[in-house]
Amino acid sequence: MKIAAALLIVAAALAAPMTASAGSLDNTAADSAVSYPTPAARTPGLMFTLRGGVAAGPAYFGSKKTVAGPDLGFSLDYLRLPGGYSLGDPDPYAVKLGFAPFASLNFIAKRSAVDYPELTGLPDVKAAFELGAGIGYTHQNFEAFVAARYGVIGHESWVGEAAVNMVARPNDALTLRAGPRVFFADSDYANTYFGTPSYTAKGGILSTSFDVGATYELNDVWALDGAIRYEQYQNDAKNSPIVQQGKDSNVSLRLGVSRRFSF
C-alpha cells in the first residue's frame, strides 16, 4: 500500500546514523591527584510512556467514510515492586525480551443516525471505553501477544485480539514491525455494532488485519511513532447489512509523538 510504503520510507530516513562524543581522562595527571567516586545513577521506581498524535479511520465499523481525530496511547515501561521484583527495564533503549504482562485500553466513538443518515432506523450506540490486560512475548526479531478487554463504559461486552509481528531493528533508535492480527468478541458486542432489527450478529472472529508500524527514538525521552492497518471484516460482521451497504474492509493509520516519564 502506498501509505505503508511512505511511512516506512520516512522511518528509514529518520534513521540516519547519529554520533556523540564525550570527554576522556588520560594517564598524565599528577600522582597527587585525588579522585572521587561518581554517584550511582538512581533507578526510577516507575517509567511509562504517553503517546499523542492524530489518527484516521472509518467513521464507524463498516463505514465508507474516513474521519480524523486525536490518537492517544499509554505503555508501562518499568515498575519496581517490593521484595526486589520488577517489571520491564529502566533502560529506555533496552530490548525487553521474554514474557511480560501489559495493560490494554481502547476507546470507540459513539454512532448515531443523526451524524450518518445511512444508519436511519438503527439505534444509536454510545461511546465505549474498554479496559483489560494481556501477555506478550518479545524476541529480538519476533513478538506476539494476546489481550482481552471488557467494555466498562458503553457496550459492556468482552473482546480480545491476538497478533504476531516480525521485528527489525536497523539501529538502536529505529524499530520496524509488521504482522497479522485477529480480533474477536462475544455476541453482545457483535450485535451492538453489526446487528440490525432484522439481523442478529453472533460473536467469534469479527475481523483480521495486517499492521505495519515504526518507532524512532529521538532520545531517551522523546520518540516518533506511526502505524498503518489494513482490516477486513469476517463472518457475521462481514455479513451484516451495515457492512454490506458500506465497506467490508478499511485502512486506518496513526502518527504521533511519545514521551517517556520517570519517577
In tens, the pLDDT along 156-213 reads 999 999 999 999 999 989 999 999 999 999 999 999 999 999 999 999 999 999 999 9
The grid cell for 200 is 442478529
116 and 65 Cβ atoms separated by less than 8 Å? yes
Q: Is the pLDDT of residue 34 over 70?
A: no
Query: How high does pLDDT run on average in the chain?
Result: 85
> Measured between alpha carbons, how far is 51 from 10 in angstroms, rounded to an integer?
19
Q: What share of the chain has pLDDT > 90, as a percent?
A: 68
- What pLDDT is stored for residue 42 in this prediction? 62
> Measured between alpha carbons, how far is 96 from 21 in angstroms, rounded to an integer?
27
Which parts of the chain fold into alpha helices (H)?
Answer: 2-14, 187-194, 235-238, 241-244
Residue located via cell numbers 498524535: 53
Q: Is the pLDDT of residue 238 over 70?
A: yes
> Measured between alpha carbons, how far is 56 from 51 in angstroms, rounded to an integer?
16
2-10+47-262 maps to CATH 1.10.10: no
pTM for the model: 0.79
Q: Which residues of 94-121 are buried (b: 16+ CB within 10 A; e: fewer)?
A: eeeeeebebebeeebeebeeeebeebee
21 and 32 Cβ atoms separated by less than 8 Å? no
- What pLDDT is stored for residue 231 in this prediction? 98
Residue-wise pLDDT for 63-117, tens only, equals 999 999 999 998 888 888 888 888 777 887 677 788 988 889 999 999 999 999 9
Q: Is the pLDDT of residue 124 over 90?
A: yes
